[in-house]
Structure 1
Amino acid sequence: MNRKKIYSNWFMVPAMAVFTIFFLLPMVISLFFSLTVWDFHSFTFCGFDNFKTFFSDSSLYSSIKNTMIYAVLTCVLKLFLAFFLAVFLTSKIKTKNFLRSVVFFPNLISTVAVGITFCALMHPSKGLINHVIELFGGNGMDWLGNTHTALYAVILTDVWKGVGVATVIFIAGMQSIDKTFYEAASIDGANAWQSLKAITVPLSRPAMNSVIILSFIGGLRTFELIWAMTGGGPGYATEVMASTVYKQYAAGYYGLSTAGNVIMFILIAILAFPLQKFLLSKEVD
């Protein structure tokens, strides 16, 4: 019995080696260097001074607020848009395979390329979006230069790019639902809305939970799109935690930026793990 147990445990070694080398070891090293002032040649231990300095940064609280707004809104918008797109794309329309490809296409484009493209589209005087608004009698605006609209403009761009993946996850979840549930509901006289509410929504919950977790964590650690479109500006209007950490690293404050990464990791863990546990508890057995 013991020999069989030892034999089966050997199959865990590759996975544990990958986990240790690429996750556990870098995490321990990052934690150590967050307690130092370091460059690429030497380091000096400084205790928790980096964390004190990081929390005293005037932009930190606005970056945390923006990060939370970004994560929540992108998660909610992707969730609802992807769900109803998936319902439409699993219906009996003839062109659904083509439309699925169209919906997923934005995810194939580089995030930086998407950011540059939407910067051009949202240009206050030359952008296509403002030209279309003016064509219908409205007034164009400086989408990325206005402190009140910049963050939401980036959020909408993120949703446009990321809704395709969420839709594919929902489609996979909906296609796994046994068709006999819908047949039974139809025999009982349920209409399309009642079937959607009583069958599709509860039985799609595993897919829904995956979309929520992935979108929320992705929003918390967002960087590329923010940096490509606004660089964290104007002012601190679109500053997020990842861009704050990057600016410190670019300025040569390596220990401080490492401390910021540790704080960001802890924040994501504190928010993501309870959320995941809550969502799993709501799944239909």
Structure 2
Amino acid sequence: MALASPAAVAIAVPARRPAQRSPYPTWFFLPAAIIYAVLFLVPTLASLFFSLTRWTLFNWTFIGLDNFVQFFREPFLVQGLINTLIYAALTSGLKVVLGLLLAVFLTSEIMARDFLRSVIFFPVLVSTVGVGITFTVLMHPTTGAINETLALFGIKGPGWLTDPRLALISVALVDVWKGLGLATVIYIAGIVSIPQDFYEAAKIDGANAFQRFWNVTLPLARPATITVVILSLIGGLRSFDLIWSMTRGGPGFTSDVLASVIYKQYQAGFYGLSTAGNVVLFILVAIIIVPVSIFLNRKERTP
């Protein structure tokens, strides 16, 4: 059998096309880079520097790590750090679980489904401060509508925002109520994108509703779960406006989180200490979100 000539091989194999260059010049990215540097890099580097100083609006003195040492020596600052972790875990966990359950319910064949979706999402559109003020009135220990409603059934309502044991949890539940709509919408988008063939195959195999949820919906809605977990954790760790509008960190320091403690330090004129708190908050968010994101986004290894 005769071998093909080199010329024939060269003709048979198409020539590799040169890599196409982007039609947009590199300097088109310059405006975005400038905005990123001005709004993120410069403030971040400035915060890192001023966290190592004792500064006012007119002068500064370099003191090294003294602000960070003082930060972790103050009991109420450490309490704010603990409350931040509790608040973030509670709010993100409830948003994931309740958002998924509501999304499954709102993607089923029910009446007024679109109306119910709008009702669930409506709190997301309301001002956080407005929600905080409204629930402060509703949760008043004596004249609040919640405790008055409980009194109709012979139940004495607690001091939702005045009891040190309940204040942080009460604010967290309001946060869940306000942010649940966004988590539900994300889950709805993830569920409706699942091909119906998987559900039909599961039905043919005799899977009941719970088995279809556990073996089809839950695994294939994982991208939505990752998004909800990351967004909820970031929001919980950085939460300030709702807590400040409802309790201002009280009673005492029982509902203080890092952001509210930092704000109080600014109000008191301890600018260096509060800047160090901002750096601690930034590092806290990074060391929690980055590993969680890597863990959730890891790809399953195939043998």
TM-score range, shorter chain: over 0.9
1:261-272 to structure 2, matched below 5 A, reads 261-272=278-289
Residue type of the alignment partner of 2:179: G
Could you tell me which of 235, 245, 265 is aligned with 2:252? Answer: 235
Q: CA deviation at 1:60?
A: 1.5
Q: Assess if the C-alpha contact under 8 Å between 1:205 and 1:284 holds in 2.
A: no
Residue type of the alignment partner of 2:66: D
Residue type of the alignment partner of 1:17: I
Q: CA deviation at 1:63?
A: 0.8
CA distance in 1, matches of 2:222, 2:202: 19
Could you tell me which of 198, 206, 212 is aligned with 1:195? Answer: 212
List gaps (5 residues or longer) in structure 2: 1-17
Could you tell me which of 187, 195, 198 is aligned with 1:178? Answer: 195
What's the counterpart of residue 129 of structure 2?
A: 112
Q: Assess if the C-alpha contact under 8 Å between 1:202 and 1:283 holds in 2.
A: no
Per the alignment, in what secondary structure is the counterpart of residue 59 of structure 1?
helix
- Is 1:27 the counterpart of 2:44? The answer is yes
What's the counterpart of residue 70 of structure 2?
A: 53
Residue type of the alignment partner of 1:216: L
What's the counterpart of residue 10 of structure 2?
A: none
Per the alignment, in what secondary structure is the counterpart of residue 21 of structure 2?
helix
CA distance in 1, matches of 2:149, 2:101: 26
CA distance in 2, matches of 1:82, 1:3: 44
Q: CA deviation at 1:7?
A: 5.7
Q: CA deviation at 1:19?
A: 2.3
CA distance in 2, matches of 1:283, 1:122: 46
Q: Assess if the C-alpha contact under 8 Å between 1:203 and 1:284 holds in 2.
A: no
CA distance in 1, matches of 2:221, 2:201: 18
List gaps (5 residues or longer) in structure 1: none
Per the alignment, in what secondary structure is the counterpart of residue 213 of structure 2?
helix
Structure 1 residues 114 and 218, CA gap change in structure 2 (3 angstroms): same
Could you tell me which of 196, 207, 214 is aligned with 2:231? Answer: 214
Residue type of the alignment partner of 2:117: R
- Is 1:205 the counterpart of 2:222? The answer is yes
CA distance in 1, matches of 2:31, 2:225: 31
Could you tell me which of 243, 258, 261 is aligned with 1:226? Answer: 243
Structure 1 residues 235 and 221, CA gap change in structure 2 (3 angstroms): same
Residue type of the alignment partner of 2:49: F
Q: CA deviation at 1:16?
A: 2.9
CA distance in 2, matches of 1:229, 1:276: 31
1:8-27 to structure 2, matched below 5 A, reads 9-10=26-27, 12-27=29-44
CA distance in 2, matches of 1:101, 1:215: 20
Q: How many residues align?
A: 285
What's the counterpart of residue 169 of structure 2?
A: 152
Per the alignment, in what secondary structure is the counterpart of residue 238 of structure 1?
coil
CA distance in 2, matches of 1:30, 1:170: 37
CA distance in 2, matches of 1:200, 1:138: 40
Structure 1 residues 228 and 21, CA gap change in structure 2 (3 angstroms): same
Per the alignment, in what secondary structure is the counterpart of residue 249 of structure 2?
coil
* TM-score normalised over the length of structure 2: 0.89
CA distance in 2, matches of 1:35, 1:142: 41
Aligned Cα root-mean-square deviation (Å): 2.0
Q: CA deviation at 1:142?
A: 1.1
* TM-score normalised over the length of structure 1: 0.94
**Rg (Cα) greater in structure:** 2
**Alpha-carbon deviations, 1:219-268, whole Å to 9, x = none?**
11111111111110111110111111000001111111111100110111
Structure 1 residues 284 and 214, CA gap change in structure 2 (3 angstroms): farther
Could you tell me which of 90, 98, 106 is aligned with 1:81? Answer: 98
**Alpha-carbon deviations, 1:11-53, whole Å to 9, x = none?**
5434433322221121111111111222222222222222122
What's the counterpart of residue 280 of structure 1?
A: 297
